[in-house]
Amino acid sequence: MTIVGEIDLYTAPGLQSEFARLLLETPATYVVIDMSKVEFCDSTGMNVLLSALKRLKERGGTLELVAPRPAVRKILQVTGLDSVFTVHEAMPGKLLTADPKG
């Protein structure tokens, strides 16, 4: 999944809806979010990501973030969420394979 633009009070509900749809319509347990085009993310956006992670963990899955820009990375670090989420600087090769755990 790729997110573009800002994740804030105004856009977070749409993202929340997309996660809900994804989790309702698919058996997804492993979600990777490309954050390279996210310019800004406030606490509302972080809460949406945390909620999605929680729902995936309830299924035995996980959510990983890829390539957050410096402003987003700083929010992750300041809030301690960089230790909650698996954060990759770039798309790791294992994520490009058919079996991401392999």
**3, 35 Cβ separation under 8 angstroms:** yes
Q: What is the pTM of this model?
A: 0.84
**73, 36 Cβ separation under 8 angstroms:** no
**48, 12 Cβ separation under 8 angstroms:** yes
Sign of CA dihedral 64, 69, 73, 76: negative
**Rg (Cα) of the chain, in Å, rounded?**
13
Q: How confident is the model at residue 19 (pLDDT cuts 50, 70, 90)?
A: very high
pLDDT at 100: 47
Q: pLDDT tens for residues 42-73?
A: 999 999 999 999 999 999 999 999 999 999 99
**Where do the domains of the chain lie?**
5-88
* Mean pLDDT within 78-83: 94
Contacts of 62 (CB under 8 A, 6+ apart): 29, 30, 31, 53, 56, 86
Judge: domain 5-88, CATH 3.30.750.24: yes
